[in-house]
Chains A and B, each alone.
Chain A
Amino acid sequence: MAERQVKVATDVGLHARPAAVFVQTAAVSENEVGLTKDGRRVNAKSILAVLGLDVRNGEEITIDSDDETVVNRLAGLVTDTGETGAPRNPR
Chain B
Amino acid sequence: MDLGKEMMLQMYRSMQRIRHFEAEIRDLAIASEIPGFVHVSIGEEASATGVCAALRKTDRITSTHRGHGHLIAKGGDLKRMMAEIFGKRGGYCKGKGGSMHIVDFSLGILGANGIVGAGLPIATGSALAAVVTGRDDVTACFFGDGASNEGTFHESLNLAAVWKLPVVFVCENNGFGEFTPMQTVTAVKDIAVRASAYGIPGQIVDGNDVFEVYRYASEAVARARAGHGPTLLECKTYRWEGHMVGEQAILGHGSYRAESEIEEWKQRCPILRFEKFVLEGGKVSGAELERIRTETAAELKEAIAFARSSPLPNPSEVSDDVFA
- Does A pair with B? no
Contact surface of A with B, Cβ cutoff 8 Å:
none
What residues of chain B have their CB less than 8 Å away from a CB belonging to chain A?
Answer: none
